[in-house]
Amino acid sequence: MSETFTKIIKADKGWLSFDLKALIHYRDLLFLMVRREFVAKYKQTLLGPVWVVLQPSLMALTFVFLFSKTMKVPTDGVPPVLFYFSGILIWNFLSSALGAISVSMLHHAELCKKVYFPRIFLPISLLCSHFFSLLIQSSVLLALYLFFYFSVERPVFKMTGEIVLIPLWLFQLGLLSLGVGTWVAGLTSKYRDFHHLTALGLTVWMYASPISYSLSLVPSDWQWVVMANPVSSIILSFRSSLFGTTRVPFEMQMVSFLVCVSVCFSGVLFFNRAQRNFIDTV
């Protein structure tokens, strides 16, 4: 028996009560949950993790056919397949991680009724397993990137030092996915309405994001709509770091970053509040 494990259980702990001791104590669980998430997804599939790269690749090819070949939409001088693949990579991460996180509490309701563990590990483990998928998908992007860079006599895009900033954009993407996901998860735990709203919201959000079009195609009077969207800055910065295209204004990057940080911070707090008496209402 050691005093370090003394714990007081009482009502009303306020918004900021996080059981940090538990987070540290259960750290091994987080790793196992990520692994379970990933392994369970692809066991008993023939292609296994190939599905991870197949999905965005087919989507990128569809975009090439639809927007580039049929509608002849310009892509800022970047080879269309690279242009679309890079956008889809970011968007797919957001939509799939957010979707999974938003139902994570409900899906594990039975588990939550029976065993205590830091509930925040549900969204965090999903975030980690989606990052792992992103890593696999990035290898396809890298292969395409190097192919276009070296095979064509005069490269159509520039490789710049800004490429080192990519982890920063991905970090920002993680914050945003976790933030919006935990907000929706918290709300869904009480009101199932938000479950239906998520699918609709994601579709609208996708069209409001510069995935299949570049910012230069948006009339200048309407560019603020795209800019107000925190994902836009991430997608555009990701592309400009990769291809050396027009950089996103610093102010916009800052605003987007602050939005992501505050959404994430408030989302995690809200989730923590919502999970506390979740099993009483589920």
Partner 1 sequence: MKSLIEVKNLSKSYRLGQRGFGSLRDSFHFWWKETLRKKSLVKSDEVDRSFWALRNISFKVEPGQAVGILGANGAGKSTLLKILASLTDPTEGEALLRGRLASILEVGSGFHPDLTGRENIYLNGAFLGMKRKEVTSYFDAIVQFSGNEPFIDTPVKHYSKGMYTRLAFSVAAHLSADILLLDEVLELGDVVFQKRAIDKMIERKKEGKAILFVSHDSERVQTLCDRSLNLEAGRLVFDGNMKEGMERYLTTAESSSMLNT
Is 192 a binding residue for partner 1 by CB under 8 A? The answer is yes
Q: Which residue has the tokens 């050691």?
A: 2
CB under 8 A, 24+ apart: contacts of 29-37: 29/117, 29/121, 30/121, 30/124, 30/125, 30/128, 33/121, 33/122, 33/125, 34/125, 34/128, 34/129, 34/132, 36/125, 37/125, 37/126, 37/129
* Residue count, binding to partner 1 (CB under 8 A): 39
Q: How far is CA 70 from the centre of its chain?
A: 30
Of the two residues 125 and 256, which places its CB atom closer to partner 1 in the complex?
125
Binding mask 10-29 for partner 1 (x = CB under 8 A): xxxx-----------xx-xx
Is 36 a binding residue for partner 1 by CB under 8 A? The answer is yes
In the complex, what is the shortest distance from the CB of residue 117 to partner 1, in angstroms, rounded to a whole number? 6
Looking at 54, 58, 109, 111, which residue binds partner 1 (CB under 8 A)?
111
CA distance 201 to 98: 11
In the complex, what is the shortest distance from the CB of residue 154 to partner 1, in angstroms, rounded to a whole number? 50
Of the two residues 5 and 250, which places its CB atom closer to partner 1 in the complex?
5
CA distance 182 to 268: 6
Which of the residues 209 through 268 are near partner 1 (CB under 8 A)? none
Of the two residues 44 and 70, which places its CB atom closer to partner 1 in the complex?
44
* Nearest by Cα to 275 from 179, 174, 182: 182
Of the two residues 111 and 163, which places its CB atom closer to partner 1 in the complex?
111
CA distance 69 to 73: 8
In the complex, what is the shortest distance from the CB of residue 25 to partner 1, in angstroms, rounded to a whole number? 7
Looking at 90, 97, 103, 112, which residue binds partner 1 (CB under 8 A)?
112
Is 113 a binding residue for partner 1 by CB under 8 A? The answer is yes
Is 150 a binding residue for partner 1 by CB under 8 A? The answer is no
Is 70 a binding residue for partner 1 by CB under 8 A? The answer is no
Is 39 a binding residue for partner 1 by CB under 8 A? The answer is yes
In the complex, what is the shortest distance from the CB of residue 118 to partner 1, in angstroms, rounded to a whole number? 10
C-beta of residue 181 within 8 angstroms of C-beta of residue 265: no
In the complex, what is the shortest distance from the CB of residue 128 to partner 1, in angstroms, rounded to a whole number? 15
CA distance 241 to 83: 12
Using DSSP's 3-state secondary structure scheme, residue 11 falls into coil
Looking at 40, 66, 142, 156, which residue binds partner 1 (CB under 8 A)?
40
Is 193 a binding residue for partner 1 by CB under 8 A? The answer is yes
The answer for residues whose C-beta is within 8 angstroms of residue 246's C-beta and 6 or more apart is: 76, 215, 216, 240
Is 149 a binding residue for partner 1 by CB under 8 A? The answer is no
Q: Dihedral sign for Cα 253, 255, 256, 261, please.
A: positive
CA distance 263 to 240: 25
Instruction: List interacting residues with partner 1 (CB under 8 A).
Output: 1-3, 5-13, 25-26, 28-29, 32-33, 36, 39-40, 43-44, 111-117, 190-193, 276-277, 279-281
